Structure 1
Amino acid sequence: MRDKKTPETETSGSQEQPSPRERTIKKYPNRRLYDTSTSTYITLAEVKQLVINGEPVSVRDAKTGDDLTRSILLQIILEEEAGGTPMFSEAALANIIRFYGHAMQGFMGAQLEKSVQMFVEFQARLAEQTQGLSPEKWTQLMQLNAPAMQAWMGSYAEQSQKAFAQMNEQMQRQAEQMLGAFGIKKR
């Protein structure tokens, strides 16, 4: 449902300029989203498709220029979680919530980001190695090549474990430095 042209001459107090190739979406008080690069209103589903396509997107409040990108991305995730097969279990969501306000909040965010990035890289390597396989061939590969799949998954698990160990070491060093600044030595 795209409407053509809208007044793009409204003033906006944008605090931060988007990068040249970034798609700027303006969010109006009536909750409509306006894509400034195509001069059309777009839906949340279309913003989702831009993200899936790898296009950098910035969502700004049309009146104040405030950055609303995170809230729009979270809204997309919420809609995906509510309709269909959720990615996060209730236990996973509860654990994430428990980290808010906790001293480890920053480390948890960094660890989640590293894990997701490693999974994306793993997925890209797998897609590269299995280019051109039909659904039938995929089924055969999964059934006949269980050891290879286990090796791939083992590689991903090993990378995750290494990242977690690095994060743990970094946390220990930072804790020792912080305690040392207060004159407290590690026992």
Structure 2
Amino acid sequence: MPSARRAPPVSEASEPAGHDGIRVLKKYPNRRLYDTRASSYITLADVKKMVLDGQEFEVRDAKTSEDLTRSILLQIILEEETGGMPMFTSRMLAQIIRFYGHAMQGMMGAYLEKNLQTFVELQSRLGEQARGLYDPKAFTPEMWAQFMSGQAPLMQGLMGNYLEQSKNLFMQMQEQIGKPGTTLFPGFTPPSSRK
């Protein structure tokens, strides 16, 4: 829910929505975020709610129009990681940092994104299977026992698919590296092609 509603600054009163109807948030030098659709200032918690609700948005610098969306999303992740239960271990974060500047940086980003998408799909399928359990009137101990007995094969199948997709993505990365003419390592000429 947006905090303190205000009239939009004059320069934003007639501003159109972002391209393709994407919600535009403007970030001002005083660190405040302004939602051009709702004509009000919002907090980082409001932006987090937009993410959780699946709303598409972009954050733009109010003066330069530079895209700051990733920066704001990283701020939300930082807040989540420093409070409560972190998702990333120090070891995992160190491994991610090591890929910056590495020739595999772009491929690793795509690999992680595809794996995360596969995991989200896995979670969605499990949610569909368990939907009846969330209705207190429909839930019985027998239903719970039946659900749990069916989960082992389901989980095995879903995890098998997940691991297979992960393996295929890794194999595609290896094939990309092995393709002739691939500029994975700019300036490097393999010894076999030198004269």
Under TM normalisation by the shorter chain, which class is it?
A: 0.7 to 0.9
The answer on 1:185 being equivalent to 2:192 is: yes
Q: Distance in 2 between matches of 1:184 and 1:121?
A: 44
Segment of structure 1 superposing worse, 51-60 or 134-143: 134-143
Encode CA deviations 1:47-97: one digit per residue, 9 max, x unaligned.
Answer: 011111111110011122111101000001111111111111111100000
User: Identical aligned pairs, as a percentage?
Assistant: 54
Q: Residue 87 of structure 1 aligns to a residue in which SS?
A: coil
* Matches for 1:148-163 after TM superposition, within 5 Å: 148-163=154-169
* Matches for 1:167-182 after TM superposition, within 5 Å: 167-173=173-179, 176-178=180-182, 182=189
Q: Distance in 2 between matches of 1:63 and 1:9?
A: 14
Q: Distance in 2 between matches of 1:125 and 1:185?
A: 49
**Would you say the 8 A contact 2:28–2:62 is kept in 1?**
yes
CA change 1:32–1:143 in 2 (3 A) is farther
* Matches for 1:1-187 after TM superposition, within 5 Å: 2-10=3-11, 18-134=18-134, 140=145, 141-142=147-148, 145-173=151-179, 176-178=180-182, 182=189, 184-185=191-192
Q: Residue 192 of structure 2 aligns to a residue in which SS?
A: coil
Q: Distance in 1 between matches of 2:104 and 2:66?
A: 28
Tell me which stretches of 4 or more aligned residues in structure 1 moved more than 6 Å. Answer: 135-139
Structure 1 counterpart of 2:28, one-letter code? Y
CA change 1:131–1:144 in 2 (3 A) is closer
Q: Distance in 2 between matches of 1:38 and 1:121?
A: 32
Structure 2 spans left out of the alignment, 5+ residues: none
Matched length: 179
**Would you say the 8 A contact 1:142–1:149 is kept in 2?**
no
Q: Distance in 2 between matches of 1:45 and 1:81?
A: 14
Encode CA deviations 1:16-72: one digit per residue, 9 max, x unaligned.
Answer: x83232111111111111111011111101101111111111001112211110100
Shift of 1:125: 2.4
Segment of structure 1 superposing worse, 141-150 or 38-47: 141-150
Structure 1 spans left out of the alignment, 5+ residues: none
Indicate the structure (1 or 2) with the bigger Cα radius of gyration.
2
Q: Residue 177 of structure 1 aligns to a residue in which SS?
A: coil
Shift of 1:143: 6.4
CA change 1:142–1:81 in 2 (3 A) is farther
TM-score (norm 2): 0.80
Q: Distance in 1 between matches of 2:102 and 2:27?
A: 32
